[in-house]
Amino acid sequence: MNDKQLIDQQSKTLGKILVLEGLITENQLRYALQLQQEEYEKRRLGEILVDLGYITKRQLREVARKHNLRTPVGQILVESGLISDSQLQEALQEQQLRRQPIGEILIEKGWISEEQLAQALSRQLDYPYILPNRRLVDKSVLKLFPDAVLREHTILPLFRDGDIITVLIHNPEDRAALAKIEQITNGKFDLAIAPKSMIRRVLREILQEQYLFTPVEGALEETSRSGFRRYTLPEVSAEGAPTAESQVINIVDYIISSAIRQRASDIHIESLYNKIRVRYRIDGKLIFQTDLPAHLGDRIVRRIKVLAGLDIADSSNMFDGHFYVTLDNTNFDLRVSMFPTVLGCSITIRTLTREIGLKDLGDLGLNPKVLRLFKQFLDAPAGFVVFSGPTGSGKTTSLYACLNYLNRGDVKIVTVEEPVEFSIEGIAQCQLRGTGSRNVREHIRAMMHQDPDVIVIGEINDEESGEAAVHAVLSGHKVFTTIHADDAFGAIMRLMDAGLRTYLLASTGLASISQRLVRRICSQCRQPHQPPRRLFEMFRIADSDVDNWEFYQGKGCQACNSVGFMGRVGVFEVLALDPLVRDALLQNVNATEVRKIAMQTGQYLSLREAGFLKAVEGETTLEEVISILSYSEQQAFAKLSLSEAALRSWLEVDPSSHESSAT
């Protein structure tokens, strides 16, 4: 049966039952079915009936439960590949004897985690899956529930919407708990699901805290100069008047501060059909944080608009905004983007901080030997450094780290950038105004009149800016730039197109660096690990050599949220131009040949080698390294084996033994 037939079948059964139970009329059913037929993206009949206001969500769930219309949770777990069919059968047999919920049996056997069970229940019953946190709790709602009831049933009341209270529960089939909630709320409640141990942990925190609680108010103040708003996030949630507004303030504070504490680069808040989904991008991967009830959507949007100084009255919800927050004495610059969707609004918030933006050259992740050679290169009076790599690969961070290294009292640094991403004390940074190549050339000419030692041309994208850069470096300056190219060779090719051919003929003071970011293994849970043999094929390591190397992985711990990774580190393809490589480039030799020549000079570290070394040093995994190697990279190296001796030479750290290779 395909999806469409399945929905038709289920709709007929459900519709008949609802009419028999007297919850809807024949006419209402006919109308809803007709609507369903006309829909392009078919919704379930139940959703339509709820939308039309014919029945409530609770009535729908009650009917589904009574008449066994729901997909069993065991089947959901099998379908999502978490357990096998035979494991399910075994657990079901055991259930016959023990009369325990199937989920608990599966957890006891260690086949699924508490989180996985809670997520499956959330899918089965269509309740939001909310990760509990004390800052989500409306204290006025909490007071309605005696401590003993909360402890006994492991439930946690969270929000109030009108007179409906959302209560967090781990087992929504727990009759005794439901009866208690029913009694306390007079039947006006909605459920959401969370893992039992997490509810218990938050309960413990809250019940202890109630007696020690000191409220701290978050203060919203406007900074007059920039007109941007600066907001200090409270350490503990405010216990002011228990209004809907103050609770939404707490929730937004919680979303932002826990994102910052988990080092998220972006916060995603999206409206789904019947819930709000909050996800964080951490180390480049989008990670689920929590669901929230759909009714909070409008108020969250409104609150973020207030923070970002956007027009609350404008309901188009297509905005870009900006505000600052202070947390743990660090300032964060939050860039808000709102985008209207058919289900409400998609909000993304990018978190930027200056402190994290400006790095030390030594912290980028350059191989120690490369770092030493690169510093010698930077210390020379003239030269050309070009950074390349895809967007978000950290090339701007690397460029700034170089400037940070060179930024001394006796060095004049002038930049022209589009845009200026961080401002650094002691450097003359200029924002490129207007567009067009004439414009770039004029900026460069003006920059040269500043008597600089080091110049930065944000990006070279045509012949005129390329020639101006060449002129600068030939007259004895150090020039830094970035360029859009896949790898270190591609970057030089692009520069040759932009008029650098003359420069290549005249000199060799050129370093081309292409970079990627890989996730760093969590230092708290790192352990030795033998990667599968097939991974070595990519590196063309001889089978006999494989066992000479040791590798690592993070097994997952509390510090890294069970991910096994924490933070990211750069992997650098580094090419210092050597006469042999220069000649090959000028003669348009093909990419594989040029690489072979470069590898023989000892002045070139490929991305593949650099990544392999990062894995050997225990900083990342081979899987992460493979994920950053592009198709063209793999092709170019398909026949080149990595030699153990060559790799080991990059791992040597004794500075005295390499003085000769520095020039």
Binding footprint of Zn ion on the chain (CB under 5 A) = 522, 524-525, 554, 557, 559-560
Q: Which residue is nearest to Zn ion (CB)?
A: 522
Cβ-based nearer residue to Zn ion, 343 or 557? 557
Cβ-based nearer residue to Zn ion, 371 or 557 = 557
| CB-based contact 330:355 (threshold 8 Å) | yes
Q: How far apart are CA 262 and CA 189, in angstroms?
A: 32
Q: How many CA atoms lie within 13 A of 521 on its CB side?
A: 23
Q: At what angle do helices 579-586 and 591-601 cross, to 10 degrees?
A: 170
Joined together, the tokens standing for residue 630 give 């592009």
Residue 564 vs 611, nearer CB to Zn ion: 564
* 341 vs 523 by CB, closer to Zn ion: 523
- What strands lie across the sheet with 164-169, from one edge to the other? 156-161, 164-169, 189-193
Nearest to 246 by CA among 159, 149, 155, 150: 159
Number of helices (H) and strands (E), helices first, in the chain? 29, 21
The token pair that represents 148 in the structure block: 């003993």
State the nearest-atom distance from the C-beta of 524 to Zn ion, in Å: 4
C-beta of residue 499 within 8 angstroms of C-beta of residue 470: yes
Q: Which is nearer to Zn ion, 546 or 563 (CB)?
A: 563
From CA 342, how far away is CA 440, in angstroms rounded? 42
Q: What is the closest distance, in whole angstroms, from the C-beta atom of residue 618 to Zn ion in the complex? A: 13
Nearest distance from C-beta of residue 340 to Zn ion, angstroms: 39
Distance CA 60, CA 100 (A): 26
Least distance in angstroms from the C-beta of 528 to Zn ion: 15
Min CB(552)–Zn ion separation in Å: 12
* Closest to 171 in 3D by CA, of 185, 159, 154, 190: 154
φ, ψ (nearest 5 deg) of residue 572: -120, 125
Pairing of strands 285-293, 319-327: unpaired
In eight-state DSSP terms, residue 41 is S
Beta carbon of residue 287, minimum distance to Zn ion (angstroms, whole number):
14
Residue 64 CB, shortest distance to Zn ion, in Å, is 40
- Tell me whether residue 83 or residue 525 sits nearer to Zn ion (CB atom): 525
Q: Which is nearer to Zn ion, 437 or 562 (CB)?
A: 562
Considering the complex, what minimum distance in angstroms separates the CB of residue 556 from Zn ion? 6
**How many CA atoms within 13 Å lie on the side-chain side of 139?**
17
Q: Could you give the C-alpha distances from 381 to 40, 71, 360, 500, 506, in angstroms and in order? A: 66, 71, 21, 19, 16
Nearer to Zn ion, 434 or 528 (CB): 528
